[in-house]
Structure 1
Amino acid sequence: MDQAWRSLALLIFFDFLVEAIGHILYFLKISNHFLWPIFILIEFTLLARIYKSEFKKMAVSRFIPIVTLLFIAYVIADWLMAPNDDLSALPHFTEGVLILLLVLCYYYKNLSSFIETQLERQPMFWLSTGLFIYFSANSVIFIFSNYIQMLSLNFFNLIWFTHSIFNILLYIFYTLTVCLIPKKLNYNI
């Protein structure tokens, strides 16, 4: 699991970097849309690595690299086919569905085996719970964002404010996860 926690640290750092660059570009009135396909690819790849490490003894772990490569190809194709400066919501939605499937596999693993008796002390439980809340809500936001933008700009801004709240919740769950990672990793499962 040590590699998984390094992947999480990279994800948090990269997330911070993309958010900072995105805000700087926004204030300079330069489109930051080109960042999001890159962010989606790296976020999904790092989260997939974390879950592959968690599922190392399960059959699903063999499919994670294949799904990751297919997802990367899909996002790149979508990015290349999109009109200039257009932000496609489908890669966000697809990422959300794939991450939710990984989270549900994690919950299934823990509920079917009862290996972990104190889930509240397990970093993966908190990471999975944060991802479940974030991607459950934001998958709906991403899939309907273009439609909502056509209806009302005020409502669209309110929806993205809601997205920001879910982002904050995700960071809280990342913090819980990091705080629960044992100082000396000792996973003899």
Structure 2
Amino acid sequence: MSWFLKWMASNGSVFLLVSSGMLLLRWRYLTSCLRFAALFIGLAILGEIVSYITGHLLHVHNLYILHGYTIVEFLLIALFYRSFFNGFYPRWLVPALIAGFLLIAALSTIFLQQLSDSNAYVRGLESLLVIGLALLCFYKILTELLTKRLEKDPVFWINTGFLLYFAGNLFLFLLSNALLKQPHQQLSFMAWGLHALLMALMHVFIGIGLWFSPNLR
């Protein structure tokens, strides 16, 4: 198992091809909240490209990128849920979460974790908020029951991918700075390999959701 996690740590980003490939195939069917899922995929691809250029080609410290990436990532995910909720919950809920998250992220960067460090606290907060939004999403799906076959509901698959990724990585994000300073390299590789595995599963689930995109509500 350890060799697999090590492989995932180095090659897990290849699974972006699943969601991005499906995005290209189903682009014309994307409406409503799925457009934010498409932007989320685009952000992930851009993040991988920038990370590779700065880390592998230029060999420069690039943790500062994660601070901005986390903010844009949460914004797109939150807008995905806001579009799907469509008045089912109070309309101020998601905008209030976005405003609160932006404020805390700014304060954390200024006073707690500078741009040279991993933004562990903000990533942890993002995970908690996305977990909460994902559970609210499942409640809406199960309450309305607008589809007879849940396995063909695109939002069900995408929401499951988000929940799996952020719930699985919650403690990893909170401990990310400690792992970066971990002298035991094998432990670090396995931890980030697990992160890559969860990311791969998320993008596979998003890809499945996009495949069912014509079945929008």
User: Displacement, 1:18?
Assistant: 0.9
The aligned residue for residue 3 of structure 2 is none
2:38 aligned with 1:9: yes
Moved more, 45-54 or 109-118: 109-118
- What is the one-letter code of the residue matched to 2:197? I
2:109 aligned with 1:72: no
SS at match of 2:119: coil
Whether the 8 Å contact between 1:93 and 1:142 is mirrored in structure 2 is yes
Q: Which one of 193, 198, 205 corresponds to residue 161 of structure 1?
A: 193
User: Displacement, 1:60?
Assistant: 4.0
SS at match of 1:3: coil
Moved more, 169-178 or 77-86: 77-86
Q: Assess, with a 3 A threshold, how the Cα gap between structure 1 residues 167 and 70 changes in structure 2: closer, same or farther.
A: same
Whether the 8 Å contact between 2:157 and 2:208 is mirrored in structure 1 is yes
Q: Return the alpha-carbon distance in structure 2 between the equivalents of residues 84 and 141 of structure 1.
A: 19
User: Displacement, 1:95?
Assistant: 0.5
Q: Which one of 153, 159, 168 corresponds to residue 128 of structure 1?
A: 159
Aligned residue-pair number: 185
Identity of aligned residues (%): 24
- What is the one-letter code of the residue matched to 2:73? E
2:207 aligned with 1:175: yes
Whether the 8 Å contact between 1:33 and 1:85 is mirrored in structure 2 is yes
Whether the 8 Å contact between 1:127 and 1:174 is mirrored in structure 2 is yes
Whether the 8 Å contact between 1:89 and 1:143 is mirrored in structure 2 is yes
Larger RCO, structures 1/2 (Cα 8 Å, 6+ apart): 2
Whether the 8 Å contact between 1:37 and 1:76 is mirrored in structure 2 is no
Superposed CA RMSD in Å reads 1.9
2:93 aligned with 1:63: yes
Structure 2: give runs of 5+ residues left out of the alignment.
Answer: 1-29
SS at match of 1:126: helix
Q: Return the alpha-carbon distance in structure 2 between the equivalents of residues 186 and 135 of structure 1.
A: 24
The aligned residue for residue 137 of structure 2 is 106
Q: Deviations over 1:25-49 (max 9, x none)?
A: 1112211111111111111111111
The aligned residue for residue 139 of structure 1 is 170
Task: Give TM-score, length-normalised by structure 1.
Answer: 0.89
